[in-house]
Amino acid sequence: MPKRQSCTLTTQQGGIVAMPTNKPLPFDSGLIESIRVDPWAAQRRASEIGTRRTFKGASQVAATIRAIRCMDLTTLAGDDTLGRVDRLCAKARRPVDLDLQTALVAKFDLPTTPICVGAVCVYHKMVADAAAYLAGSNIPVAAVSTGFPAGQTPLETKLKEIELSIGDGATEIDIVISRALALTERWRELYDEVVACRAACGERAKLKVILGIGNLGRLETVAKAAMVAMLAGADTIKTSTGYEPTNATPEGALVMVRMIRRFHDLTKIKVGFKPAGGIKTAADAWKYFILMKEELGDEWTQPELLRLGASSLLADLELQLNHQAFGRYGAESRFAVA
């Protein structure tokens, strides 16, 4: 078995660099219909991700910290309370214990800038409270919207929900597409729906479009839906809600990332990627860094263009940092999210 090459990431100072919102481009049915995906080739390539490269030493520390910076720290449960959201926001502000960060700074010569997550993601009802708690932190509040997770609500209701969430302080909106439109290949209708959501966001909020790939079946359908979303003005395309039969998968992620690359080649517009669902360990997160570096380049491993939808992931990332700093993992209960 060939030895895996070391993959390099460097630790950079925190903060998300503001990027202009995407603008809808004209619908191009020829472009959509030209998309073809060989599922066997996609699965073969996806199976290689993370097998030829790995992170070692200081790069492993940098990758772990980068994963925290790219996290959309999320709570989307029916029993969410204001207390839970406040605790989640407190963890978002300081996801790494101060003593642990101090030890990492001393051992690996890291920047002293506080580490924080990419965003806090909640239901609309919790947006105002999260925004108030995070005021002054520069951590965005992301609201799941448009009838999340099923998307089975009228368009007028979806657009009103976006408006209300932005009014309460959300600066990122995670919408879920009407999967039926993709499954029946009504691409123009899907395009019009996402364009309407883009218009509702305007320049006040980033638009993150959830495809729900576990409901879409064929990888070619995933690819076409991704391209439609980007043409319609998506700033980020996201794999899943976390409530589908399957969520983020290596082959689904690969196909979406390839569409991002094709869209960038055609338009020079940079669209972000957000895998979500089932990302629980540092090793899971590192695979997405390797995928982005190999397919798109290091710029797409930054929180401006990569988000990891997760919550339980943070505990494992802290365990890894504790081991790298002190040579031991410690008790997982010390690193509870909320």
Q: DSSP secondary-structure letter at 305?
A: T
Contact 36, 220 (CB under 8 A): yes
Q: Which of 238, 284, 287, 316 is catalytic?
A: 238
136: left (phi over 0), alpha (psi -120 to 50) or beta: left
Contact 140, 118 (CB under 8 A): yes
Residue type, 287: K
173 CB contacts (<8 Å, ≥6 apart)? 142, 143, 145, 162, 165, 166, 197, 201, 205, 206, 207, 208
Q: Which of 274, 284, 287, 316 is catalytic?
A: 274
Residue type, 39: P
Tokens 């969410």 correspond to 80
Backbone angles phi, psi at 202, to 5 degrees: 55, -140
Active site residue 23: no
Active site residue 3: no
Contact 153, 146 (CB under 8 A): yes
Radius of gyration of the chain (CA): 19
Active site residue 160: no
Q: Which tokens go with 206?
A: 């980033």
Q: Which of 72, 174, 284, 316 is catalytic?
A: 174
Contact 159, 171 (CB under 8 A): no
Q: Which residues are catalytic?
A: 174, 238, 274
